[in-house]
Amino acid sequence: MKRTHYCGELNERHEGERVLLQGWVNRRRDLGGLVFLDLRDRTGLVQVVVDPESPAFAAADRVRGEYVLVVEGAVRARPADQVNPELATGRVEVAAERIEVLNEAETPPFPVDASWRGEDDPAERVNEDLRLKYRYLDLRRKPMLDRLRLRHAVIKAIWDFLSDEGFVQVETPFLTRSTPEGARDFLVPSRLEPGKFYALPQSPQLFKQMLMIAGVDRYFQIARCFRDEDLRADRQPDFTQLDLEMSFVAQEDIWEVNERLVAHVFREALGVELPLPFPRMPYREALERYGSDKPDTRFGLELEPADALFAESDFNAFRGVLEDGGVVRGLRAPAELSRKQIAGLEEVARRYGAKGLAWVKVGGEGLTGGIAKFLDAGALRAWGARPGETVLFVADRWNTALEALGQVRLALADILGVERSGWNFLWVVDFPLLEWDSDLELWTYMHHPFTSPHPEDLPLLETDPGRVRAQAYDLVLNGTEVGGGSIRIHRRELQQKMFDVLGIPHKEAEEKFGFFLEALRYGAPPHGGIAWGLDRFLALMSGAASIREVIPFPKNQSGRDPLTGAPAPVSPEQLAELHLKIEE
RNA sequence: GGCCCCGUGGUGUAGUCGGUUAACACACCCGCCUGUCACGUGGGAGAUCGCGGGUUCGAGUCCCGUCGGGGCCGCCA
């Protein structure tokens, strides 16, 4: 006889039915003559009762937590005073007539049962490396299973929506060619060609562009990507993107499809309706108002220009910055901050490149503390400061000042306990095409070298490259970048010009991207697309603190997998076959 | 490469100013218990305090080093 029901679906409608359940023992309560077992499968728990007279009693007596059982018996209503309202199946129980132990189990190194009873889960506080080492046990916990299912629901919603919109899913290779731009590649040595290497893709970028040249027109892929860089709470060496690309489109077309896709995903997976369209905010505005190219717009505390306050002041540090072409920006904290809090915020500012954090408290009478003696109370009042506020200032180069103060803004929101709820999506648009690399002393791309400049700004490419806007955009959710894309260059001449501006010699471009430059010769259509960081997306959707919580088998911060022990040494024979020698 | 935080039974923690046998909760094992559902109750086992060195009459505690874990900066087109 096969399983007739899942544990969690039983209710009073099944009363009197004979059922066969299979699952794990979540919890065992032995009352001496009477044994209760909470049987668990992926749907939930149901209480199994074993009477001493039952033929199942001997088995129930030896059963322990996490044993795997077959339970056969009859569903019966619990007496009114024995109903457990905390349990979905709490109005019924299964009177066991037969219990078969399919497997025994050792006691897990950390508890996996609590979350299934809807209780505070002690496993949430267990050392994460231990959870990763026994991930198959960790994944038995309900919140982990819920996140696996959320991931499934989101990916299904993506497939459904994009299929209906005419997108074709295409798989691109894992073993490909190293393109030494951007992140460090993971390399795979070639056995057949000594000294040569495959690289794992950092993204399917060039393949999806070639699919556009092939005429696929609309492509998507749930694509695994690989980058050999240091890890973070929101970064793994292998991670998943939703990658998509469209032909004969402008930026707005891509935004529009993606907005509807996001809305569909939220509706299907979370039951949340998102208002469309998402706001669109130019990069410069995002920096000026929020000090970030991924602003958290769920709260105010916006930054404000404060150059005029210091242009004539005796505060030499700031006036000097202004005279050197820098800027001063201010942030009004609607509270009287303590010295300790200000010191903490200053540390944040310094970590992000500011020389310091100037501050002043606005009282009913006048200004106190910090740089009060350099400022005029009337002028500060006219600037917008209000009594009771602590005003914070940073002076530096434009982007340093804004980014540092933007980080101070986020830290301040934490200090003030600012309410941050909801789903604030927005498009950050009009990114600069290039940024100046002061170390290498040349212009470098901000997105990637295949990003199309804004047509209006093309003439600036040779005269004032820093002012050229790109047709590039990021999708931002609650202060996190969850996607980024661009309209690509589809004409070979312009692509060549980009390499020139970037200082990449023809020969080098030919070596690295020759195959792609050649593809551009054969009628490449205008095209563009986007890639979502699917793991970050899921982490935000599920309220997880790190993307490791939404990845079934992640690496720890050292890039190790405590479960498999990867990376691990290999045999000398394997090395020899690959023509590799390890340097001690 | 850099900054910060954390390593004590299986798990989570306590351990004061360096001082006797390292404490508590949960989990685990055994006994008792027929309506529990975080069952109850009685008993038991279980830690050389990540590792190495130093200071000291004496180190979980102080110092140095090292290893491991986490957060961040750099880096991540």
Q: Give pLDDT tens digits for A437-466.
A: 877 778 888 888 999 999 999 999 888 888
A36 touches strand B (CB under 7 A): yes
Written as one string, the DSSP assignment of A135-169 is HHHHTTSHHHHHHHHHHHHHHHHHHHHHHHTT-EE
How many CB atoms neighbour CB A399 within 10 A? 15
Mean pLDDT value across residues A336-364: 91
Residue A210 pLDDT class (50, 70, 90 cuts)? very high
* A417 CA to B56 C1' distance (Å): 48
Task: Look at residue A574 and tell me whether its pLDDT is greater than 90.
Answer: yes
Beta-carbon contacts of A413 under 8 Å, excluding residues fewer than 6 positions away, are: A296, A299, A301, A420
* A33 CA to B36 C1' distance (Å): 12
- Dist. CA A528–CA A52, nearest whole Å: 70
The angle at the Cα of A515, spanning A468 to A435, to the nearest 5 degrees, equals 20
A516-569 pLDDT tens trace: 999 999 999 999 999 999 999 999 999 999 999 999 999 999 999 999 999 999
Beta-carbon contacts of A68 under 8 Å, excluding residues fewer than 6 positions away, are: A22, A23, A24, A101, A102, A103, A105
A483, two tokens: 């996607």
* A443 CA to B40 C1' distance (Å): 74
Written as one string, the DSSP assignment of A52-88 is TTSTTHHHHHH--TT-EEEEEEEEEEPPGGG--TTST
Report the half-sphere exposure of A1 (CA within 13 A, side-chain side): 14
* A109 CA to B15 C1' distance (Å): 24
- Dist. CA A407–CA A519, nearest whole Å: 43
How many CB atoms neighbour CB A230 within 10 A? 11
A52-78 pLDDT tens trace: 999 999 999 999 999 999 999 999 999
- Dist. CA A397–CA A467, nearest whole Å: 16
* A191 CA to B1 C1' distance (Å): 33
- Dist. CA A151–CA A154, nearest whole Å: 5
Of A370 and A361, which is predicted with more confidence?
Answer: A361
- Dist. CA A147–CA A270, nearest whole Å: 12
A312, two tokens: 């004539």
- Dist. CA A576–CA A584, nearest whole Å: 16
A106 touches strand B (CB under 7 A): no
List the one residue out of A105, A36, A23 whose CA is nearest residue A71. Answer: A23
Q: Which residue is nearest to nucleotide B11 (CA to C1')?
A: A110
A9-57 pLDDT tens trace: 999 999 999 999 999 999 999 998 899 999 999 999 999 999 999 999 9
Please state whether the peptide bond connecting residue A554 to the residue before it is cis, i.e. omega within 30 degrees of 0: no
Which pLDDT belongs to residue A584?
66
Which pLDDT belongs to residue A313?
86
Instruction: List protein-proximal bases of chain B (any atom < 7 A from a CB).
Output: 1, 10-13, 26-29, 32-40, 68-77
Beta-carbon contacts of A42 under 8 Å, excluding residues fewer than 6 positions away, are: A6, A8, A145
Continuous segment of H or E residues that includes residue A104? none
Which pLDDT belongs to residue A503?
85
- Dist. CA A417–CA A411, nearest whole Å: 10
Q: Any idea of the CA torsion for A90, A93, A99, A103, to the nearest 10 degrees?
A: -10
Report the half-sphere exposure of A146 (CA within 13 A, side-chain side): 13
A47 touches strand B (CB under 7 A): yes
Which pLDDT belongs to residue A181?
61
Residue A180 pLDDT class (50, 70, 90 cuts)? low
Continuous segment of H or E residues that includes residue A187? strand A187-189
Mean pLDDT value across residues A110-123: 91
Residue A149 pLDDT class (50, 70, 90 cuts)? very high
Mean of the per-residue pLDDT values of chain A: 94
- Dist. CA A154–CA A156, nearest whole Å: 5
Cα A122 from chain centroid (whole Å): 25
Q: Give ipTM to 2 decimals.
A: 0.94
What is the DSSP pairing of strand A425-429 with strand A280-282? parallel
- Dist. CA A16–CA A293, nearest whole Å: 62
The answer to pTM > 0.90 is yes
Ranked by mean pLDDT, the top range of A111-120, A185-194, A314-323 is: A185-194
Mean pLDDT value across residues A172-186: 86
Amino acid at A42: R
Instruction: Determine phi and psi for A558, rounding to 5 degrees.
Output: -85, 5
